[in-house]
């Protein structure tokens, strides 16, 4: 494996195992620089969202980079206030305009919103069938959300992007998504840097000659989970990609699994108020 290694989604599209997340990356020079550093160092996947309010900077960075648009896997998401058929259609066009592109590689429903998400999905399916999006998916959907949602889908979601890290392993969700052919993707994989202070991860970092962050990102990939660590620091963006020259033993993967506390950093999908 290397930084260009990809997983194959349920519709045959390939998606890089590692990408750059830009949540809370400020629009303008901050996000533009982060993306350019990432692309110059082999990254080919960029994950943004309408609510991040930096799609314009993402689009500018891609335009100004030395990498062709077709070589970049670009993800965005429809925000909750725009869910519903017509509003999703309008939100998608707005995202395309800001991103300065005529298609997306992946478009996600950002959070489950019950019946409204079913109408949103109809819009995504239509955009997918028209070739405006190469793959469609969801974010923050738990097993019970998927049980309610999937019977209404003509197109099975290709990806489910969820909070996933050593303290929130969600084995049932991972197993469920694998059984349905849905690729799990991790947001907040390094727990906002908190993995650096976990003793077990420090021990494993010493054993493998890596950092705790690199250990966790490698653990993601070996568990079959796409990962999109966020950083705006050049050195960290480069270091986060330095995870393809070693392999964790099955025993060490189980040790990391055992850190699971079912503990969230972000909001719970069942109790969101936005």
Answer yes or no: 52 catalytic: yes
**Under 8 Å between Cβ of 256 and 200:** yes
- Residue from 43, 52, 107, 128 carrying the catalytic annotation: 52
Measured CA to CA, the distance from residue 4 to residue 18 in angstroms comes to: 8
Distances (CA, A) of 250 to 206, 236, 254: 17, 26, 6
The order of strands in the sheet holding 159-163 is 20-21, 45-47, 73-78, 104-109, 133-139, 159-163, 183-187, 226-227
Measured CA to CA, the distance from residue 165 to residue 16 in angstroms comes to: 19
- Residues annotated as catalytic are 52
């Amino acid at each position: 494996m290397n930084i260009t290694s990809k997983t194959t989604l349920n519709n045959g599209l390939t998606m890089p195992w590692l990408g750059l997340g830009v949540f809370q990356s400020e629009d303008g020079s901050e996000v533009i620089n982060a993306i350019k550093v990432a692309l110059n160092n082999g990254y080919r996947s960029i994950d943004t969202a309408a609510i991040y309010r930096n799609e314009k900077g993402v689009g500018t960075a891609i335009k100004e980079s030395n990498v062709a648009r077709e070589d970049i896997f670009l993800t965005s998401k429809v925000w909750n206030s725009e869910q519903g058929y017509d509003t999703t259609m309008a939100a998608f066009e707005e995202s395309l305009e800001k991103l300065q592109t005529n298609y997306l590689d992946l478009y996600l429903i950002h959070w489950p919103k019950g019946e409204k998400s079913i109408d949103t999905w109809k819009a995504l399916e239509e955009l997918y069938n028209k070739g405006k999006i190469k793959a469609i998916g969801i974010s923050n959907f738990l097993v019970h959300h998927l049980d309610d949602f999937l019977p209404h889908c003509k197109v099975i979601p290709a990806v489910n992007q969820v909070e996933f890290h050593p303290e929130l392993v969600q084995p049932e969700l991972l197993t469920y998504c694998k059984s349905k052919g849905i690729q799990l993707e991790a947001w907040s994989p390094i727990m906002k840097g908190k993995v650096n202070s976990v003793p077990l991860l420090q021990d494993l970092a010493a054993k493998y000659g890596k950092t705790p962050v690199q250990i966790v990102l490698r653990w993601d990939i070996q568990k079959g989970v796409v990962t999109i660590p966020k950083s705006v620091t050049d050195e960290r963006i480069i270091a986060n990609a330095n995870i393809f020259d070693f392999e964790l033993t099955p025993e060490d993967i189980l040790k990391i699994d055992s850190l699971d506390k079912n503990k969230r950093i972000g909001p719970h999908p069942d109790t969101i108020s936005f």
